[in-house]
Structure 1
Amino acid sequence: MIYPWLQPALDQWHQQLAANRQPQALIIEGNQGIGKSAMTRAIVAELLCRAPKPEPCGECQSCRIYGSGQHPDLILVAPEKNLIKVAVIRELVRFFTATAHSAPHKVAVIRQADGMNTAAANALLKVLEEPPAGSLLILETDRAHYLLPTIRSRCLQLKLQCRAEQYPAVKNWLQKQKPDLSADQLAQLWALSPGLPLQIARLIDEDVVSQLASHMSSMLAYLDDRQSLTVVSQQLDQEVKANHWPLLQTLFLHWLKEEHRPQSEAFQWSHDLRQWFFKQPCGSGLLLNFCQLMNTIMVNLNNQTKTRLLIESMLVKVKQRQVS
């Protein structure tokens, strides 16, 4: 079973097959959390099956081998330290030159394909220029525009997305996975990660809603003079995870949109920090400045800059603007 929001893309693939237009290279593109690997698994299972309908039969020898996790007619390539080197692509070329073992096709999957260095990309281009018969090369990527134009032009592109009209199906799926999830929580998480159901599921598992609320309470404790800068910056430095900063920024930007479009049906995430901002003179500008200052923190998370110093600078600048 494919995720419900991916069914239209899978149907598009089946139409290609029904029209005898199976490509020899396919780009599966979509943001993290949309389900690229799930789509790849569905397509690979069908191609390796000896009697697809178009779904895999699950009974033939090839399906049973694939189910074991070790199929000789499938090779998976993934980056090492965010890089795919030319030696790995050369191994893929050798794989394609061998005869298929038990499946009607030989399939190679390159995950995070935009991680190929120049030499690897050029080596792959040679494969695409003279693709082996009875083979399929699948490139998964969040950023298809990072691939060489000459690679993109030789591939069918399957873009995965979850549209707003699919929200009811996603809501049903998430509530089956997470029975304790309330409608309000789901609306909040959808706003933080619109169109990314698998990312929403991870945020639920990590209890992100309550953690973000705690971070905002810490910020407010400094801004309304209930806690010292030292205490609050230490708390935020220790408790705010790297993936929380962009989520907080997304939330604050939603607040700005709601403030200027109150008649819209946007989600409502009530927190005292929101009320604090919009009680200040030029509250919208102050909140926008807060979002901009967060960029400095996010950009410097992986270098030697002390995150706590950046947090202190952000809070002090916002407070100074508030009183000026």
Structure 2
Amino acid sequence: MLPWLEPSYQQLSSLHQRLQLPHALLLSGRRGLGKQQLAEAVVRLLLCQAGPAEAPCGRCKSCQLQQAGHHPDFWQDTDASERIGVDSIRQLSRFFHEHAQQGGARVAVLERVERMSEAAANALLKTLEEPPAGGYLILTSDQPALLLPTIVSRCQQWSLTVADTKVVELWWQQQGGQTLDKFFEPLLHSAPLEAWQWQQSGQLEQVRQSLLQLEQYLQGQASMQQTVQLLAKTEQLPLVLSWFVRERLAQKSNAQPQGYWQFLQRFQQWCRDEQQLLGQNKQLALTALLIELKRLNA
């Protein structure tokens, strides 16, 4: 378990031992925090046949099936596209209406649920309104503000953060991470896995240049053309922009909640389009997004 998520895991484990774990969990927090790793740890707890305990036994048939990666009572959406469609939610619903083959719980995980289409969100709401006996649904979200309030209200939400930055810094050193300067400390403290991914790919300096360019653009010190040209060369641009939006515009969610929410929706659409658009259309879409970003930041 990632050390900064250990307190949350222990609390969830305690609820499980007391048979008080809710049928629907929403693990929310910034991208790069490790929500999926926490979800997987809870899945192992729920599927273990040794009974409610602090940790899975690792020896029972159910644990062995889970370790092998093909437990019949576990479901996870395997579609890696930038949109969760209604067909995926229908598969989830059918999964919960089947009998548990191992005689225990049935557990499903749905990642980044803000990607759901409107039809998918409505279908999921029906599943949440009629929770199956012995069924557990674990949702993760980078941007829970984009979810239907009715979905959030039917889940127990766990807002995950890094409570102790020294824990993250120690983990970073143990992984062999290079020394980071002050510029990257906010990234390391809020999204350590994202920082690690960028270091491993050798992209930290490119990320620095992109973030500085965006800041200069918002302050009127860099032109739109310059900014678009530089960002167009940035690898993993959606991840870079996602982190910048979270950090730079976090205060705007209180000052302009409706405008911030609308921009998040627009940003999600841009993320989906970015994989499909080519050439000039791609630059035009990025230009439109940056115009909205500057308007919101004004």
Seen in structure 2, the aligned counterparts of structure 1 residues 239 and 57 have a Cα distance that, compared at 3 Å, is same
Matched letter for residue 202 of structure 1:
Q
For residue 160 of structure 1, what is the aligned residue in structure 2?
A: 160
Alignment of 1:282-297 (within 5 A): none
Contact 1:79 1:111 in 2 (8 A): no
Closer/same/farther in 2, CA of residues 215 and 120 from structure 1, 3 Å limit: closer
Q: Using the TM superposition, give the Cα deviation of residue 53 of structure 1 relative to its aligned residue in structure 2, in angstroms.
A: 2.4
Match of 1:87? 87
Match of 2:203 in 1: 208
For residues 103 and 31 of structure 1, do their structure 2 counterparts lie closer, same or farther at Cα, with a shift above 3 Å needed? farther
Contact 2:73 2:102 (8 Å CA) reproduced:
yes
In 2, the alpha carbon distance for the partners of 1:169 and 1:16 equals: 24
Separation in 2, partners of 1:216, 1:146? 24
- 1:94-243 counterparts in 2 under 5 A? 94-102=94-102, 104-163=104-163, 166-178=164-176, 181-182=178-179, 185=180, 187-211=182-206, 236=230, 239-241=233-235, 242=237
- Counterpart for residue 292 of structure 1: none
- Tell me if the contact between 2:17 and 2:53 (Cα under 8 Å) persists in the aligned partners: no
Give the Cα separation in 2 of the matches to 1:55 and 1:211.
Answer: 41
Number of residue pairs aligned between Structure 1 and Structure 2: 248
What is the CA-CA distance between 1:123 and the residue it aligns to? 1.7
After TM superposition, the structure 1 stretch with the greater mean CA deviation from structure 2, 169-178 or 76-85, is 76-85
Identity within the alignment, %: 34
TM-score, normalization by structure 2? 0.71
Where in structure 1 are there 5+ consecutive unaligned residues?
A: 219-231, 254-298, 315-324
Q: Distance in 2 between matches of 1:122 and 1:67?
A: 33
Counterpart CA distance in 2 for 1:61 and 1:47 is: 13
The Cα offsets for residues 265-288 of structure 1, whole Å up to 9 and x where unpaired, read as: xxxxxxxxxxxxxxxxxxxxxxxx
Find the aligned partners of 1:190 and 1:29 in 2 and give their Cα distance. 21
Does structure 2 retain, via aligned residues, the 8 Å contact 1:86–1:119? Answer: yes
What SS does the aligned partner of 1:137 have?
strand
TM-score (norm 1): 0.65
Indicate how the Cα distance of structure 1 residues 233 and 66 shifts in structure 2: closer, same or farther if over 3 A, else same: closer
In structure 2, how many angstroms separate the alpha carbons of the residues matched to 1:212 and 1:128?
40
Separation in 2 of the partners of 1:120 and 1:247?
23
1:78–1:121 Cα change, 3 Å? farther
**Secondary structure of the residue that 2:173 maps to in structure 1?**
helix
Check whether the contact 1:49–1:103 (CA below 8 A) recurs between aligned residues.
no
1:112–1:142 Cα contact (<8 Å) kept = yes
> Is the Cα–Cα contact under 8 Å of residues 13 and 53 in structure 2 kept in the other structure?
no
Q: Is contact 2:16-2:53 (8 Å) kept? A: no
Which of 1 and 2 has greater Rg?
Answer: 1
In structure 2, C-alpha distance between the alignment counterparts of 1:237 and 1:15, rounded to whole Å: 46
Deviation at 1:45, TM superposition (A): 0.6
2:44 match? 45
The DSSP-based 3-state class of the residue aligned with 1:194 is helix
Deviation at 1:62, TM superposition (A): 0.3
Q: CA deviation at 1:82?
A: 1.9
Contact 1:111 1:139 in 2 (8 A): yes
C-alpha contact (below 8 Å) 2:228/2:283 kept by paired residues: no
Q: Deviations over 1:263-314 (max 9, x none)?
A: xxxxxxxxxxxxxxxxxxxxxxxxxxxxxxxxxxxx8994636859x99xx9
Deviation at 1:100, TM superposition (A): 0.7
| Residues 211, 73 of structure 1: alpha-carbon distance in 2 compared, 3 angstrom cutoff | same
RMSD between superposed Cα atoms in Å = 3.6
Q: Give per-residue Cα distances to partners, 1:110-137, cap 9 Å, x unaligned.
A: 1121222222222222221211111101
Any idea what the Cα deviations from partners look like across 1:53-111, whole Å, max 9, x if unmatched?
Answer: 22111110000000011110011025553222222212211111111112521011111
Give the Cα–Cα distance (whole angstroms) in 1 for the partners of residues 72 and 138 of structure 2: 16
Find the counterpart in structure 1 of residue 57 from structure 2.
57
- Alpha carbons of 1:167 and 1:130: their partners in 2 closer, same or farther (altered >3 Å)? same
Moved more, 27-36 or 140-149: 140-149
Displacement of 1:20 in angstroms is: 2.8
CA deviation vs aligned residue, 1:235-287 (integer Å, no higher than 9, x gap): 9477543269659979xx8xxxxxxxxxxxxxxxxxxxxxxxxxxxxxxxxxx
Equivalents in 1 of 2:188, 2:73: separation in Å? 36
Distance 1:83 1:4 in 2: 31
Q: Which range is displaced more, 22-31 or 119-128?
A: 119-128
